[in-house]
A and B are shown apart, each in its own frame.
Chain A
Amino acid sequence: MFIDTLLIGLSSGAIYSLMALALVLVWRSTRVINFAQSGQAVLSTYIGYEITLRTHNYWVSLPIAIIAGALLGSSIDLLFIRVLTKRVKSGPIAEIAPVIATLGLLGLIQSLIGLIWGNAFLQYPSPLSAKGFTFGTHTIPFSPQNSMIVLSSAAVLAVFGIIFKYTDLGLALRAASFQPEIAQLAGVRVARVRNIGWAFAGSAGAVAGAVITPTSTLSPNSLDLLFVSGFIAAVIGGLDSLIGAVVGGVVLGVGFSFILQYIGSSVTFLMGFIILMIVLLVRPRGIFGSKVGRHA
Chain B
Amino acid sequence: MRSRRFSPLVHGGLLTLTGAVLLLLSGFVDELRTYQGAQVAVYVIAISSIVLLTGYSGQISLGHGAIMAIGGYAAALSFVKWNFPFEIAILFGVIVGTISGFILGVAAARLSGPYLAGTTLALAVGLPTLADQFRVLGGEQGLNFDIGDPPTWITKIEGSSFTQYKWFFWITTIFALFTLWAITNLLHSSFGRNWRASRNNPVAAGLAGINVARGKVLAFTVSSGLASLAGALFGLLLGLVTPSAFPLSLSFAIVTGAVLAGVGNLAGSIVGAVVLVAIPEFSGTLATHLGNSQKVSANLPGLAMSLLLILVVLFLPNGLGSAQLVKKLYKKFTTT
Q: Are A93 and B111 touching (Cβ within 8 A)?
A: no
Report how far A197 CA is from B67 CA in the complex, Å. Answer: 36
1/0 per residue, CB under 8 A from B, across A81-117: the answer is: 0011001100111111101110111111011101100
Contact of A119 among B127, B259, B298 (CB under 8 A): B298
- B129: nearest residue on chain A (CB-CB)? A266
Task: Please give, as numbers and ranges, the residues of chain A lying within 8 Å of B121 by CB-CB distance.
Answer: 228, 231
Q: Are A87 and B114 touching (Cβ within 8 A)?
A: no
Count class of interface residues, chain A:
35 or more
Task: Please give, as numbers and ranges, the residues of chain A lying within 8 Å of B282 by CB-CB distance.
Answer: none
Q: A264-B133, A295-B202 are in contact. Are A107 and B306 (CB under 8 A)?
A: yes
Q: Does A121 lie at the interface of the complex (its beta carbon under 8 Å from any beta carbon of B)?
A: no
Distance in Å: Cβ of A280 to nearest Cβ of chain B: 6
Q: Does A205 lie at the interface of the complex (its beta carbon under 8 Å from any beta carbon of B)?
A: no
Q: Are B110 and A280 touching (Cβ within 8 A)?
A: yes
Task: Please give, as numbers and ranges, the residues of chain B lying within 8 Å of A225 by CB-CB distance.
Answer: 125
Task: Please give, as numbers and ranges, the residues of chain B lying within 8 Å of A103 by CB-CB distance.
Answer: 252, 255-256, 309
Task: Please give, as numbers and ranges, the residues of chain A lying within 8 Å of B263 by CB-CB distance.
Answer: 92-93, 96
Q: Are A108 and B303 touching (Cβ within 8 A)?
A: yes
Q: Does B286 lie at the interface of the complex (its beta carbon under 8 Å from any beta carbon of A)?
A: no
Report how far A224 CA is from B121 CA in the complex, Å. Answer: 12
Distance in Å: Cβ of B73 to nearest Cβ of chain A: 14
Task: Please give, as numbers and ranges, the residues of chain A lying within 8 Å of B130 by CB-CB distance.
Answer: 266-267, 270
Q: Are B114 and A235 touching (Cβ within 8 A)?
A: yes
Q: Are A100 and B112 touching (Cβ within 8 A)?
A: no
1/0 per residue, CB under 8 A from B, across A19-51: the answer is: 000000001000001000000000000000000
Q: Are B55 and A92 touching (Cβ within 8 A)?
A: yes
Q: Are A276 and B118 touching (Cβ within 8 A)?
A: yes
Q: Does B157 lie at the interface of the complex (its beta carbon under 8 Å from any beta carbon of A)?
A: no
Distance in Å: Cβ of A276 to nearest Cβ of chain B: 5
Distance in Å: Cβ of B188 to nearest Cβ of chain A: 17
DSSP majority for the A interface? helix
Q: Does A161 lie at the interface of the complex (its beta carbon under 8 Å from any beta carbon of B)?
A: no
Q: Does A185 lie at the interface of the complex (its beta carbon under 8 Å from any beta carbon of B)?
A: no
Distance in Å: Cβ of B82 to nearest Cβ of chain A: 25
Distance in Å: Cβ of A249 to nearest Cβ of chain B: 14
Report how far A181 CA is from B91 CA in the complex, Å. Answer: 53
Q: Does A273 lie at the interface of the complex (its beta carbon under 8 Å from any beta carbon of B)?
A: yes
Task: Please give, as numbers and ranges, the residues of chain A lying within 8 Å of B155 by CB-CB distance.
Answer: none
Task: Please give, as numbers and ranges, the residues of chain A lying within 8 Å of B206 by CB-CB distance.
Answer: 296
Report how far A114 CA is from B294 CA in the complex, Å. Answer: 10
Q: Does A232 lie at the interface of the complex (its beta carbon under 8 Å from any beta carbon of B)?
A: yes
Q: Are A107 and B305 touching (Cβ within 8 A)?
A: yes
Report how far A224 CA is from B264 CA in the complex, Å. Answer: 29
Task: Please give, as numbers and ranges, the residues of chain B lying within 8 Å of A294 by CB-CB distance.
Answer: 110-112
Distance in Å: Cβ of A124 to nearest Cβ of chain B: 20
Q: Does B299 lie at the interface of the complex (its beta carbon under 8 Å from any beta carbon of A)?
A: yes
Task: Please give, as numbers and ranges, the residues of chain A lying within 8 Å of B56 by CB-CB distance.
Answer: 92
Contact of A228 among B115, B122, B127 (CB under 8 A): B122
* Contact residues, A115-132 vs B (CB, 8 A): 115, 118-119
Q: Are A27 and B309 touching (Cβ within 8 A)?
A: no
Distance in Å: Cβ of B319 to nearest Cβ of chain A: 8
Report how far A268 CA is from B132 CA in the complex, Å. Answer: 12
Q: 4 closest A-B pairs (Cβ-Cβ)?
A: A107-B306, A269-B126, A270-B126, A104-B309
